[in-house]
Amino acid sequence: MTVVIPSKQFSADEKRRLVLEYLEQPFGSKAAFLEEHQLDRDQFRRWRSALADGDLDTGQFPRKTGAMTCRDTAEVRRLQAEVDRLNEQLASERKVVDALGKAISVMHSLGVADDAEDPDGPRTSGQNTSS
């Protein structure tokens, strides 16, 4: 009797994380890593090649048989940290833009004119409006 266990589905981010963790394992502990995470050696080799070739996100079969060095792994980690930092900064700046938009909306509802909308520029209370 043969028992077939369905394979676990992994997202591209999970595959990337597992491949990078695997590559950072010391010599002699990689087989234990695969066993611990219940990963097939051949499937994992395809993930590693796909990551090295830039095909992991597309889900395509690797175009080449890419290899990654420890230096490559460190660079991928550094770049991913930079992407995460920039995404956080973008989210923060979007909140600022949203707050400024709301403040401008409140000013308009209170009747405060925007200087950019007035072609004559800002007026003082004693200035005559007729030419």
CA separation for the pair 86, 28 (Å, rounded): 36
Looking at the fold, whether 63 and 76 belong to one and the same domain comes out as: no
Looking at the fold, whether 52 and 95 belong to one and the same domain comes out as: no
φ and ψ at residue 14, rounded to 5 degrees: -65, -40
Residue 90, pLDDT score: 96
Looking at the fold, whether 82 and 97 belong to one and the same domain comes out as: yes
CA proximity to 23, closest of 14, 13, 33:
33
Q: In this structure, are residues 131 and 119 in contact, taking their beta carbons and an 8 Å threshold?
A: no
Looking at the fold, whether 64 and 77 belong to one and the same domain comes out as: no
Whether 13 has a pLDDT exceeding 60, the answer reads yes
Q: Residue 126, by phi and psi: left (phi above 0), alpha (psi -120 to 50) or beta?
A: alpha
Q: If you average pLDDT over residues 104-126, what whole number do you get?
A: 69
**Residue 31 in domain:** yes
- pLDDT tens across 74-109, in order? 788 888 889 999 999 999 999 999 999 999 999 998
Structural domain of 101: 70-115
Looking at the fold, whether 94 and 105 belong to one and the same domain comes out as: yes
pTM for the whole structure: 0.47
* Structural domain count, the chain: 2
